[in-house]
Structure 1
């Protein structure tokens, strides 16, 4: 069956190339963001992964599973509020540390 239903899990997968000098600051921000995400309605589970081997360029991947695409929108708004209240500018951090990102939402395929 194809298509998205409210009961079908939905995933946010973010991939990052983080230079060594920015690792600790980057991971600190990721930890703050994921602590908030874990408290949001519709959160199922998350993973913060660091590459250990292989030729891929992305050395960090974060994955969050949500109960539906709709709950992701509320989580995005919560993260935006948290960043605004802290005066945090994600684009500035990424530019300053030289971080490259590939950020997308995914649905599970039943094949």
Structure 2
């Protein structure tokens, strides 16, 4: 299964990005669009894009999605793959073309 169990209900997807300033707005707008899509899916408790305002570290954009369960994650994966195909959007190519460095993963509260 995809992800890690936080409790009996909740899973967290945290994706961190190093986004060059020249493409920051373009990248954030695309992430906001994708998060809006995720918010409408069953089992999505929240989906947000965070942009760093101050502090050390290289990551300056984060997306955070909270899921109710593994089934919701699997369903969302299928929906998003179909959406990407319909829109001819390749997330890996998009980030590569913009020079964005990504660190993607599922997390649990410890």
TM-score by length of 1: 0.86
Partner of 1:83: 84
Distance 1:52 1:32 in 2: 21
2:65 is the counterpart of 1:64 = yes
Report which of the two structures shows the higher radius of gyration computed on alpha carbons: 1
- Contact 1:41–1:71, Cα closer than 8 Å, also in 2: yes
RMSD: 1.8
Return 5+ residue gaps in structure 1 as ranges.
none
**How far 1:6 moved relative to its partner?**
7.9
The alignment covers a number of residue pairs equal to 107
Return 5+ residue gaps in structure 2 as ranges.
none
Q: Which runs of 4+ in 1 moved over 2 A?
A: 3-8
Partner of 1:96: 97
TM-score by length of 2: 0.87
